[in-house]
Structure 1
Amino acid sequence: MAARKGLDMVDNGSDCRLQSLAALGGGHGLFQTLRAARYLDLPDITAVVTVADDGGSSGRIRRELGQIPPGDLRMAIAALSADSPDGRLWEEVLQHRFGGHGALAGHAVGNLLIAGLTDVLGSRVAALDRVAELARCRGRVVPVVDQPLDIEADVSGLDDDPRIMRPVRGQVSVASTPGRVRRVRLIPDSPRACPDAVDAIMRADMVTLGPGSWFTSVIPHVLVDDVVQAIARSQALKVVVLNLMSEPGETAGFSAERHIHMLAQHAPALRVDRIVVDSNAIPSTSERTHLARAAAGVGASVCMHDVAEMDASGALTGRHDPVKLARALAAECAR
C-alpha cells in the first residue's frame, strides 16, 4: 500500500475565524482542496460535488442503475479519509479498480459501494454518509443536486467555418472536444440543489470554488440557481481557486483572465471575495492588470500565493500543493 504523507496541521492563525468550509468542485481539483482542508484541521468540512460524469465506471452506473455518477463523490470521500491505518486502507480500497475484461473491469470499489448502499438505504446522501463513516472521514460529501446531470456545450472550430457553433453533449465529450467551448448548460436546465449542499454553504465560514476542469467541474455548480443564491446569502468568505494552467480540450489556450470571464458569463449574479492565483503562473505586469480587472467584475480581489505542487525532483506536477493551498486559504481568512 502506498503510504500517505503525514497530515502535519497548518496553523490557520489566531486572527482566522475559519472553522467551517464548503468546497465546491469535482475530480482531482476538489481532491486537493479537501486535502488542504484536512491540513487546516477544520471541524466542519463539506464537499459539494458535481454529478455530471458520464464516462467510465460512473457512466456505467448512471446508465444501468439510474443513479447519480459516484466517481467524483468517491474521490472526495477518499480525500477526507482519516490519516490512520484504517483510513488509509479505506482510501486505497475505495479508489481500487478491478482489472481484467469481465463485467467488473474498470469499476472502482467505492463506486459500487456507494451504488449498493444507495439501493439499500434509499437515499444517496445517507449512502455517502455511511461510506464516509467507514473511512473515518473528517467531514461530509454531498452531491450538488440529487439527480444525474448532463452537460451540453456550444463548441466552435468543429467545422471549416470557425463561426459555426455545434452542440456537444456529455461531460467526457465536452472535456475532450478538439473545438473551443464557448458556453455550457445543464440538462435539465433548472435542477434543484441538494438541501444538504445549500445548508453547508449557508453555515460555512469559507466557500471555495475550484480548481478543476472549468466547464465540467467548476461552472456546473454556478448553473444551479439555488447554489448561486446560497452563496449570495452566505456570510462566508467566497474564494475562487484558479487553475494553474489551461487544460487540453475544454480550456486550451485560456488565460487566467478568461477563466474568470467565463465564470461571470455563466453566472452574472455571482459575487466572490478572493481569487487565489499561483504567484508564479502570471509573471507579466500587464497580465496581472487584466486579471485584476476581470476579478473586480465579480467583486473580488486577486491574491497571489505560491500554491503549485512540485515532485521530488523539483518539477511542477500541474496540481495544487495541499499544504501550500491550506496556508493560502488561512492567510486570506486572516487578512
Structure 2
Amino acid sequence: MHITSLGGGHGLFQTLVAARLSEPDSITAVVTVADDGGSSGRLRREMDIIPPGDLRMALAALASDDADAHLWTRTLQHRFGGTGALAGHAVGNILIAGLAEVLGSEQAALDKVGELTRSHGRVLPVCNQPLEIEAEVAGLDEDPRVIRPVRGQVAVATTPGTVRRVRLIPEHPEPSPLAVEAIRNATLVTLGPGSWFSSVIPHLLVPGVVDALNETDALRVVVLNLSAEPGETQGFSSERHIHMLSQHAPLLRVDRVLVDSEAIPTSAERAYLVRAAAALGAEAVFEDLGTVDADGRRLNIHDPVKLSRAFTSLYTGSRD
C-alpha cells in the first residue's frame, strides 16, 4: 500500500498519523501552500517563500517515535514566547526557511528535516510557489444577494459571510511534478479532512492535480469533516461539502466518500449523501471515526486509530 494524502493543517496531521498506523509501504503528504497567517504568513511575506507551517505539521505527524526524533519533533512544533521579533514563530518554520536558503530549495529543506526526524514518509508542497485564496462571499452586506471578494486564507477561514466559491491567485500555478507523480503512483489517495475552502479544495484548483486523481489506479477516498467549521463552512451540511467539490472540479472522480456515521444518524440524511457521492462516481461509506474522550464525550476530531482501520478496510476491499 502506497498512500498519498492531500490536505493541510490539523486535518492532514490526523490523516498522516492514521496512515502511519496502517503500516503502508510508503506515505507521501501533498500539502497546501496558501497559508498567510501567523508565523507562516510573516515568513512568507518577509522571505518570499512558500508558507512552511502546514509542511512543518506534516513532518511532525510523520516523525519517528524514538527519543531523538521525538526531541526534533517537539523542537519543530515549539513556538517562541515573549514580545520580540521571534515571538509566535514556530522553530520548525524558521528551520525550514533557513535550510531552504542554505540548500537552495524548499523541497531539499523538507527532505533534510525528514532525515532529522527519521520520517515515515515524504512531505511535498502541491506547488513550489506561494498561493493566495480569494473567495466570493455572500452575506457581508444588508442585501444577502450581494457577493463580495475576500482575499487571504485567514480572511476566508474567519469570514462571517457564506463562501460561495474560491479561486487561486495566480489562477494557473505550476504544480509540483513530485506531487503529481506521487498521486499517479499511489495505491490509496486521500483528500481531506480539513478546512474545506482553504486546505482541501485549493488542491483541486492546481492544474494537473484533478487529471492525476482521475488517471491514477489508486483507490481515491474523500474524508469528510466531522462537522461544519465556524467561519468558512458555517451551516454547511455534509452533502453540501461534497457539492462544493463538484462545483470547483466538475471533472473530478473519486471512489469512496468516508463519512462519520455518528455525525449522520438519520437514513434521510444518509440518502442525500449517497446521491451526492454518486455524482462524483463514488460510494458513500459510513464508519465511526470520531474521537471520544475519557468522559465519553465525542470531540470534533478524527480518531487516527479508527481512521486507519477504515483506510485499511477500504483498501483491502478494493483489492478483493
Please report the TM-score for the alignment, with normalisation by the length of structure 2. Answer: 0.98
Write the deviation string for residues 179-204 of structure 1: whole angstroms up to 9, x where unpaired: 00000000000011101101111110
> Where do 1:278-293 residues align within 5 Å?
278-293=260-275
Residue of 60, 72, 76 corresponding to 2:58: 76
Matched, 1:65 2:40: no
Please name the residue that 2:224 is paired with. Answer: 242
Q: Shift in Å at residue 316 of structure 1?
A: 1.6
Please name the residue that 1:159 is paired with. Answer: 141
Aligned structure 1 segments of 4 or more residues deviating by more than 6 angstroms: none
Q: Shift in Å at residue 232 of structure 1?
A: 1.1
Please name the residue that 1:199 is paired with. Answer: 181
Residue of 255, 270, 276 corresponding to 1:273: 255
Alpha-carbon RMSD: 0.6
Q: Shift in Å at residue 42 of structure 1?
A: 1.5
Matched, 1:111 2:93: yes
Q: Shift in Å at residue 91 of structure 1?
A: 1.2
Distance in 2 separating the partners of 1:39 and 1:84 = 16
Distance in 1 separating the partners of 2:25 and 2:244 = 33
Please name the residue that 2:198 is paired with. Answer: 216
Distance in 2 separating the partners of 1:92 and 1:313 = 28
Residue identity matched to 1:190: H
* 8 Å CA contact 2:291, 2:301 repeated in 1: yes
Please name the residue that 1:298 is paired with. Answer: 280
Identity %: 65
Residue identity matched to 1:164: V
Q: Shift in Å at residue 110 of structure 1?
A: 0.3
Distance in 1 separating the partners of 2:260 and 2:30 = 23
Give unmatched runs, 5+ long, in structure 2: none
Distance in 2 separating the partners of 1:260 and 1:280 = 18
Distance in 1 separating the partners of 2:298 and 2:46 = 39
Distance in 1 separating the partners of 2:115 and 2:301 = 28
Residue of 176, 188, 212 corresponding to 2:170: 188
* 8 Å CA contact 2:15, 2:307 repeated in 1: yes
Residue of 308, 313, 318 corresponding to 1:331: 313
Matched, 1:138 2:92: no
- The count of residues paired between Structure 1 and Structure 2 equals 317
Residue of 245, 259, 263 corresponding to 1:263: 245
Write the deviation string for residues 56-100 of structure 1: whole angstroms up to 9, x where unpaired: 000000000000000000000000000111121111110000000
Please name the residue that 2:209 is paired with. Answer: 227
Give unmatched runs, 5+ long, in structure 1: 1-18
Write the deviation string for residues 296-319 of structure 1: whole angstroms up to 9, x where unpaired: 000000001111011222212211
Distance in 1 separating the partners of 2:193 and 2:212 = 20
Q: Shift in Å at residue 290 of structure 1?
A: 0.6
Write the deviation string for residues 97-156 of structure 1: whole angstroms up to 9, x where unpaired: 000000000000000000001111111111100001101100000100000000000000
User: Secondary structure of the residue that 1:225 maps to in structure 2?
Assistant: coil
Please name the residue that 1:308 is paired with. Answer: 290
Matched, 1:21 2:15: no
Distance in 2 separating the partners of 1:192 and 1:286 = 42
Please name the residue that 1:51 is paired with. Answer: 33
* 8 Å CA contact 1:43, 1:138 repeated in 2: no
Please report the TM-score for the alignment, with normalisation by the length of structure 1. Answer: 0.94
User: Secondary structure of the residue that 1:302 maps to in structure 2?
Assistant: strand
Distance in 2 separating the partners of 1:129 and 1:72 = 15
Residue identity matched to 1:284: T
Distance in 2 separating the partners of 1:223 and 1:28 = 21
